[in-house]
């Protein structure tokens, strides 16, 4: 991961693959936007899949990154790939489907249970190929915190529910 200090970008000695392994991150699919929308009337199949999987909630990170796509949130139908391609015609960069396992049963100092057989994905935007790694890792860290919070809430509710069901 790159961190930006006053002197400029600094990197650690690990490779991207090592960081992704340690953080349980994966790039499921990557779409180079100019190549995918070059012919808006005939986008590639992976772009059609992206269009079917556009987030339904307006506060999705993808819509903060690419506000021009927010018009497709809360739609009653999946937008046509050609329509989405036309919206992205002047956009440079990449769409990436990031993935990380669903973690459960968090313990201190940071252990948990997980499997790549059950994982979360999210479509994100990276302006450059160099941004892909950081965009994915930032999302993974936020997703882990969301999972941790959800897991903690479940464990707090379960004992209260069990206690309240006693006669």
- Output the pLDDT for position 110: 67
pLDDT digits (tens, 9 = 90+) for 39-77: 999 999 999 999 999 999 899 999 999 999 999 998 788
The number of folded domains in the chain is: 1
Determine if the peptide bond prior to 157 is cis (ω within 30°): no
- Output the pLDDT for position 3: 41
Average pLDDT for residues 110-117, to the nearest whole number? 72
- Output the pLDDT for position 119: 87
- Output the pLDDT for position 9: 41
Query: Has residue 42 been placed in a domain?
Result: yes
| C-alpha to C-alpha distances, 36 to 79, 92, 103, 166, nearest whole angstrom | 16, 11, 33, 59
pLDDT digits (tens, 9 = 90+) for 3-33: 433 333 435 778 999 999 988 899 999 999 9
Query: Has residue 118 been placed in a domain?
Result: yes
- Output the pLDDT for position 62: 97
> Domain containing 121: what range?
13-164
Average pLDDT for residues 77-91, to the nearest whole number? 94
What is the residue whose two structure tokens read 């790939």?
81
- Output the pLDDT for position 167: 47
Query: Has residue 1 been placed in a domain?
Result: no
Query: Has residue 84 been placed in a domain?
Result: yes
- Output the pLDDT for position 54: 95
**109 versus 54: which is more confidently predicted?**
54
Query: Has residue 5 been placed in a domain?
Result: no
110-117: Cβ within 8 A, 24+ apart: 112/148, 112/151, 114/24
How far is residue 67's CA from residue 51's CA, in Å, rounded to a whole number? 15
Query: Has residue 7 been placed in a domain?
Result: no
- Output the pLDDT for position 161: 44
Query: Has residue 75 been placed in a domain?
Result: yes
pLDDT digits (tens, 9 = 90+) for 91-108: 999 999 999 988 776 666
Query: Has residue 2 been placed in a domain?
Result: no
* 24: Cβ contacts below 8 Å, ≥ 6 apart: 100, 101, 114, 140
């Amino acid at each position: 991961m790159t961190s930006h200090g006053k002197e400029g970008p600094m990197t650690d000695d690990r490779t991207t693959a090592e960081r992704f392994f340690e953080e349980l991150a994966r790039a499921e699919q990557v779409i180079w936007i100019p190549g995918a929308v070059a012919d808006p009337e005939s986008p590639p199949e992976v772009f059609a899949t992206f269009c079917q999987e556009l987030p339904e909630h307006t506060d999705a990170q993808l819509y903060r990154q690419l506000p021009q796509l927010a018009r497709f949130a809360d739609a009653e139908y999946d937008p046509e790939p050609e329509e989405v391609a036309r919206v992205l015609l002047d956009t440079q960069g990449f769409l990436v489907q990031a993935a990380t396992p669903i973690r459960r049963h968090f313990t201190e100092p940071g252990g948990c249970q997980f499997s790549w057989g059950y994982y979360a994905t999210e479509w994100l935007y990276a302006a450059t190929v160099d941004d892909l790694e950081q965009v994915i890792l930032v999302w993974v860290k936020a997703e882990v915190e969301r999972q941790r919070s959800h897991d903690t809430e479940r464990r707090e509710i379960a004992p209260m529910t069990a206690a309240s069901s006693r006669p």
